């Protein structure tokens, strides 16, 4: 149950950055470049968060009890 919401967080992060990129493109007339950039930034942030959540930070294992 520890990782039950990881998929939803992953999808939400990508969707949020997609909407931000779409809004920025409409505002500045740079379609589709900001949308593409925001999708990649959102996917990168989601993958990074997923990696930290599943694998953990280096050196953090075994220190919880001491």
| Maximum distance among all Cα pairs of the chain, rounded to whole angstroms | 55
Residues 6+ apart with CB under 8 A from 37: 21
Query: Tens of pLDDT along 21-47?
Result: 999 999 999 999 999 999 999 999 999
In this prediction the pTM is 0.76
pLDDT (average), residues 6-11: 90
Whether the predicted pLDDT of 61 surpasses 80: no
Q: How far is CA 62 from the centre of its chain?
A: 27
| Contacts within 8 Å (CB) and 24+ apart, 17-21 | 17/41, 17/42, 17/43, 17/45, 18/42
Whether the predicted pLDDT of 49 surpasses 50: yes
Alpha-carbon distance 11 to 56, whole Å?
A: 20
């Amino acid at each position: 149950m520890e990782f039950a919401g990881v998929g939803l967080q992953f999808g939400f992060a990508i969707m949020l950055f997609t909407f931000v990129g779409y809004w920025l493109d409409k505002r500045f007339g740079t379609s589709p470049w900001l949308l593409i950039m925001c999708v990649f930034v959102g996917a990168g942030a989601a993958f990074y968060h997923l990696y930290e959540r599943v694998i953990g930070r280096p050196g953090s294992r075994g220190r919880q009890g001491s």
